Structure 1
Amino acid sequence: MRVSKFKTCRQILENVWQTKKLTQKQQKILSKARKKTNKAGEFSQKLQAIKKLSIFYGNLPVKKVAKKTYTYLDKQKSLLLLMEKRLDILLVRMNFCSTIFTARQLISHKKICVNNQIILRPSFQVSSGDLISIQQNCKSTIKQNIRYNRIFKNKPSHLEVNYQTLMAVLLYEPQQIQFPYHIDLDVLN
């Protein structure tokens, strides 16, 4: 694992890149750091939870994660809805892109349409019932990526995806998301 990625792991005291394994030396460093900070304060726990969310959502700036306007009484549900309805996040959940960065690149290159209109903002909020499609000149590349990566793991139930036509519909607002590592969302309240 590169040093910069391990530095982030040391700040959070957990391996946030689940696809990469830590070396034995890195594991020892993390375990020593965990022992030193077993009694972390409330501010430290909140900061770690926000940083983990930021990493999970493609290094979204911490300010954007921390200062979202909450529309529901439950902050956790509101944050989940705001983040999971973003266009770049939905492209990854539909397995059209393997990372959030490739999804953002597709959007910036005018390859993604929502309701037959080209969208240029990765932070575009998709509503229930919106049709997400891919431009015709980009479909072959994405189909090859889907075949090559074989990333048909856990597709969320709130999406209806047709991999033949590369179109998808957001059926309803997401209710729950599985994080690959532990994030204590109760601290954010």
Structure 2
Amino acid sequence: MARYTDAVCKLCRREGEKLFLKGERCFGPKCAVERRPYPPGMHGQKQRFRRKMSDYGMQLREKQKARRIYGVLERQFRRYFYDAVRQPGQTGENLLRLLERRLDNVVYRMGFADSRAQARQLVTHGHFTLNGRRHNIPSYLVKPGDVISVREGSRKRTYFKEIGEHMEGKAVPEWLEVDPTTLTGRVIALPERHQIDIPVNEQLIVEYYSR
């Protein structure tokens, strides 16, 4: 299973904004974007004074930003786009809706993990059940009515004992519901665009792939 293994803080610096890829660290003084607000590399500081970005450059940056937020590589991201094209409605919104429906993203949104990368690892290691059955595929697309729970054997672990106490203060999107006492969540409906709070202009992504 291919995945990005380099320092994720470089990705935030490259995009010039926080993508919240490392959970709580992104809110503290150790955040790389706060300490070094310029792209990584030996010419990073000079890039802050470059000429105005082209239309293609803006489209590319939005596409890369969305990929990095959800932790998806190019080949899979392109496949999501073509699936979104075939669905009725606006392609950009369909694309974000597909990405939000990924099981690792839903686990993150429910508050079971501090980041999508951590959620992906927890799912891969088999700590969750989907509709009562153990499930370890992070890219699985959930649907309304699906129930995600921490596996019975995993609830004894220190991590899940502690996270139940912190989940009560976390905001959960309207299209999901969570019960911190039972470590269980349910998908109520498909997400709408106004419920997806990522800083991405999806229309630029559509323009990038429509060239």
TM-score interval, normalised by the smaller of the two chains: 0.7 to 0.9
Aligned to 2:112: 96
> What is the TM-score normalised by the length of structure 2?
0.74
Matching residue within 181, 187, 195 for 1:164? 181
**Matched residue SS, 1:124:** coil
Matching residue within 103, 115, 119 for 2:135? 119
Q: Is the 8 A contact 1:131 1:169 kept in 2?
A: yes
2:148 matches 1:145: no
Long gaps (5+) in structure 2? 1-5, 21-25, 207-211
The percentage of aligned residue pairs carrying the same residue is 24
Long gaps (5+) in structure 1? none
**Matched residue SS, 1:27:** coil
> What is the TM-score normalised by the length of structure 1?
0.82
Alpha-carbon separation, structure 2, partners of 1:142 and 1:186:
39
Deviations 1:12-57 (A, max 9, x none): 2334344315456x3367785344142x222211110111112211
Amino acid at match of 1:144: E
Distance 1:151 1:54, change over 3 A: farther
Aligned to 1:36: 50
Q: Is the 8 A contact 1:95 1:146 kept in 2?
A: no
- The alignment covers a number of residue pairs equal to 181
Distance 1:91 1:118, change over 3 A: same
**Matched residue SS, 2:155:** helix
Instruction: Supply the RMSD in Å over aligned alpha carbons.
Output: 2.5
2:64 matches 1:61: no
Shift of 1:86: 0.8
Amino acid at match of 1:53: A
Deviations 1:50-97 (A, max 9, x none): 11112211x311332234221233112111111111110000000011
